Chain A
Amino acid sequence: MPGERGRRNTLERVLRIDQATYDALVEHAKREHPVEACGMVVGPIGSDQPVRHVEMVNAAGSPTFYEYDSSDLFQLYKEMDDRDEEPVVIYHSHTATEAYPSVTDINLASEPGAHYVLVSTREHGNNPGPVEFRSYRIIDGVVTEEEVTIVDTVTPAEESS
């Protein structure tokens, strides 16, 4: 939850994502390489829990650009609306550069509440091997990196003992 504005240099915000979803995003990025992969992990409004992975088609089909097809975009938002969901993670891959938002990414970021995840496949391409997986907030042109914590499951954990 957003607290007072911090002055520390450590990463104050955290993306909590479960292992299976993390693996699915990495697998998607590797499969599409050298084209950029894109998609979302959506969750209940206000929950900050990425629970439902939605792979999207990169309509640009490009190694340096991604864009959802406009009717796919409409369907996705309609579906989220019907299910009381919102974008929790908005991800895409960079296939030849680091997992850091480009100027284009920053200019086009339009979901201030979302975690923008970048996966870089530049090291191993379609092959097995580690990837860079980093998460950011992008608000009004300001990029803030956040910690990524991989958990078993993002949903329960709320029972008070």
Chain B
Amino acid sequence: MAIEVRIPTILRTYTGGEKAVDAEGSTLSALIDSLESNHPGIKDRLVEDKGAGLELRRFVNVYINDEDVRFIGSLDAELSDGDQVVILPAVAGGAA
């Protein structure tokens, strides 16, 4: 089961410069583990453990077929063959 994952500029150091890579998994969690096995180090940029198990980092957005995964189960969001996953870092900041 191949799922195309679009990689943002800032994470392309992990994919040898590739803008999109294939990964596998029936949930976002599993997909991230699959990414990690081919591109070591990338997982830590996407998830963190704040004491209650792994969660998506606050300033990382992941979309499955145009939908923000935070609205469809976050790391438990389900994936099917042919889905497209897009990773985008938040554009955020400010004086605080």
Genuine A/B complex: yes
Cβ contacts under 8 Å, A108 to chain B: 59, 89-93
Cβ contacts under 8 Å, A63 to chain B: 95
Does residue A9 face the partner (Cβ distance < 8 Å to B)? no
B90 touches A68 (CB 8 A): yes
**In the bound complex, CA of A108 to CA of B63 (Å):** 19
Does residue B37 face the partner (Cβ distance < 8 Å to A)? no
B9 touches A74 (CB 8 A): no
Q: In the complex, which of the residues A56, A90, A102, A110 contacts B94, with contact meaning CB atoms closer than 8 Å?
A: A102
Contact with B along A65-105 (1 / 0, CB 8 A): 11110110110011000000000001010111100011011
Does residue A24 face the partner (Cβ distance < 8 Å to B)? no
**In the bound complex, CA of A70 to CA of B88 (Å):** 9
B10 touches A65 (CB 8 A): no
A105 touches B94 (CB 8 A): yes
Asked, given contacts A73-B61, A74-B63, whether A36 binds B89 with beta carbons under 8 Å apart, the answer is no
Asked, given contacts A73-B61, A74-B61, A113-B9, whether A60 binds B94 with beta carbons under 8 Å apart, the answer is yes
Count of chain B residues with a beta carbon within 8 Å of a chain A beta carbon: 19
How close is B47's CB to chain A, nearest CB, in angstroms? 16
Asked, given contacts A111-B9, A113-B9, whether A74 binds B68 with beta carbons under 8 Å apart, the answer is yes
How close is B31's CB to chain A, nearest CB, in angstroms? 18
**In the bound complex, CA of A17 to CA of B77 (Å):** 42
Does residue A109 face the partner (Cβ distance < 8 Å to B)? yes
Cβ contacts under 8 Å, A101 to chain B: 93
Cβ contacts under 8 Å, B52 to chain A: none
Most buried by B among A38, A94, A108: A108
Q: In the complex, which of the residues A70, A95, A105, A113 contacts B93, with contact meaning CB atoms closer than 8 Å?
A: A105
List A residues at the B interface (Cβ < 8 Å): 36, 38, 40, 56, 60, 62-68, 70-71, 73-74, 77-78, 90, 92, 94-97, 101-102, 104-105, 108-113
